[in-house]
Amino acid sequence: MWLVSPPGWGAYWHSLAVIPGSGGDWVDVLDVGDGRLALCVGDAAGHDERAARFARRLREAMRRHLCAGATPDVVVSRAMVDVAAAGDLGEMYATAFLAVADARSPRVDYVNAGHPPVVHLPAGPATGGGGEPRALGPTGPILSDLFAGTAIWSTRSLTMAVGDCLLLYTDGISEARDEYGDQFGVLPLTTARAGTDSPDGLLHRLFALVAEHACGAVRDDRTIAILARQPAAVRSCPGGAAGARSSAG
């Protein structure tokens, strides 16, 4: 799926669950108004209905605080308080990466709550870009009731040029194993960008590479999402009007 709104930004994503409808992976894409687009990818531990329920609660809580205008670090902190207050978490935990882009500037604010490092892919030479991929590591711990009520997460920022992408993924991608037990890893994600790749094309090509590496086997939920800075003229939004979109395993 993909969504382009507000002008100059696009979000693209795809998920594959081990058990459809009961996975722990989630993607949330939200036009939060005032020219801002939020993209969140999360991964709750497990592949059952309990993991899916925990993921839904986190996604809904984070959405509420995003719509209230909170910064990414405050969003995850308040969401964890909300979810912990409902009780019955046991030892459940999740990781998440939340990015908020602003149509009025090239800046992206983000928080990484114990999630696998997101990759900032610079525009290819064909679009006048260059530079090396950059990993955006954790800015705080996992989402667990152990940290509820703390202000332990921090927001960081980066600048994205037109043609740049942020590549978000869950560990079902990087830890997919081949017949010899070797993981797919992160390196293919940092080197996969071709100068002529559209974000949507890159997304589907990476999924195909992972499937080939794993010989078609799916042992963990898989999610890839891309936040792309695009020319402001790109305005299409397949499947309906811009607003809120979400996907869960």
What does the pLDDT look like over 190-211, one tens digit per residue? 886 655 578 888 898 999 999 9
Count other Cβ atoms within 10 Å, centred on residue 192.
16
pLDDT at position 175: 86
Lowest mean pLDDT among 30-34, 52-56, 87-91: 87-91
Burial class (CB in 10 A: 0-12, 13-18, 19+), 99: buried
**Cα–Cα dist 125/149, whole Å:** 46
The reply to whether 135 falls in a domain is yes
Does residue 179 lie in a domain region?
no
Per-residue pLDDT tens over the stretch 43-73: 998 777 888 889 999 999 999 999 999 999 9
Cis status, amide bond into 231, omega within 30 of 0: no
Domain count, the chain: 1
The enclosing domain of 35 has a CATH number of 3.60.40.10
Token pair, residue 61, equals: 């809580």
> Is 213 within a domain?
no
Q: Is the pTM of this model over 0.85?
A: yes
65 lies in some domain: yes
Q: Which domain holds residue 30?
A: 2-168+221-248
End-to-end CA separation in angstroms for the chain: 14
What pLDDT score does 8 carry? 87
Residue 76 φ/ψ, nearest 5 degrees: -70, -35
- Give the Cα separation of 71 and 225 in Å (integer): 21
Read off the pLDDT band of 27 (50, 70, 90). very high
Report DSSP state, residue 15. E
Q: What are 115-153's pLDDT values in tens digits?
A: 999 999 988 655 555 678 999 999 999 999 889 989 999
In a domain, 184, yes or no: no
**Residue among 204, 183, 182 nearest 192 (CA):** 204
